[in-house]
Amino acid sequence: MNTLRDDGTATEQDAAALRAAMVDQLRAHDELCTAPVIQAFATVPREAFAPGAPLAQVYNRDDVVITKRDENGLATSSVSAPRIQAMMLEQADIQPGMRVLEIGSGGYNAALIAELVGTGGHVTTVDIDPFVTDRATEFLAQTGYTQVRVLRADAEGGVPEHAPFDRIIVTAGAWDIPPAWTEQLAEGGLLVVPLRMRGLTRSVALVREQGRLVSRGYVLCGFVPILGAGANAERLVLLSGEDVALRVDGDQVVDADALRDALSLPQVVRESGVEVGGFESFDELDLFLATALDDFGLLVATPEAIESGLVQRSARMGAKTALAGCSFAYRASQATSDDRTSFKFVVYGHGRDGEAVAEEYVALIREWDRLHRHGPGARIEVFPAGTPDAEIGEGRLIEKNHTRVLISWPSPS
């Protein structure tokens, strides 16, 4: 198959060289680890599933190729970044001969899965959008992966006619886990799903154990939200025109007027005394705060609001925010050296009780630093809705339509 650059001069060798370079980068970042997944990424021509996109973008380990947008310009379908696909497939631990269901069908990931299950396995990929399934069918046929079964359906109900599955991999952001996914997963099987929990998304590998799902690990990720019956939109609470807003779950109750007033009051600044290295990830702190705080959201702002000093730069990507009635506080990081090799956490409080909220926030940062920074991470368990409290352990319980999600933080052994 010929692969063209924008100037029409690229060859298959160009694509192969970029593919090999992408694999090397993914391995260097420990995102590709096992031989079968490495071989799958080295084999499947990613450019065939993103026609028209520049090869440099297609084979950038961190680049998403948008394939469809809605009327507001928001992405509704994409070929996910290679590093995210690699990490999720490593999480899934797919073995030859397995039966795998992919929810969210772009084609490329299904081809990778087909490489992993081999000739004795079965791959079913499903999507609600005919635009997506038609493209997947076409591209899979062009690249020789005709054994992949492509179905158009609302994945809320799974694919019962081809169940049970040893693995279910969800490639769209999910707010909840419908019963069909658990029911169609073989006992001991793995569900890998980008699950949104209090505004944060993690790709969670969940094993089915005695009627519930228990995490085997999770990684930071971002995905286009799932469509259909399982959709659950976030909403923006505007605090200063359209320049500053809070992003919260759709059913979360907040006093917008009180929080707007809080933003107009002088801010309180509290230092945590906790520092991190310039390349040290603190995603675990974010998840810990989202589970430790009673009311939580993400503060977002335009560059103009940040430059004016109304809010700190951390709001550019969504500052993790503690909400408390008419007050709120959020975290920012400040460089502690000219070469930006270390940063300290600083908390900014707003509102009548801004000082108290900021102090609570600082105490939680210190608790994470003391007890969980180098610990085993969170344990995530998913119980069916209606499970009695007596059968659920201690931790932050998040109520959803179909499930009750428990997040707890075991102490280091």
Residues assigned a catalytic role: 80
Amino acid at site 196: R
The residue assigned the tokens 């109520």 is 399
Longest Cα separation, the chain: 66
Identify the bridge partners of residue 342 per DSSP, sorted by sequence position.
Answer: 277
CA contacts within 13 A on the Cβ side of 179: 5
Contact 216, 230 (CB under 8 A): no
Q: Exposure of 148 by Cβ count < 10 A (0-12 exposed, 13-18 middle, 19+ buried)?
A: buried
Phi/psi of residue 242, each to 5°? -105, 10
Sign for the pseudo-dihedral over CA of 155, 161, 163, 169: negative
> In a 3-state reduction of DSSP, which class is residue 253?
coil
Contact 173, 143 (CB under 8 A): no
Task: Name residues whose C-beta falls within 8 Å of residue 45's C-beta, 6 or more positions apart in sequence.
Answer: 1, 3, 15, 19, 143
CA contacts within 13 A on the Cβ side of 4: 5
DSSP 161-178: GG--EEEEEE-SBBSS--
Cα distance between residue 286 and residue 398, in whole Å: 16
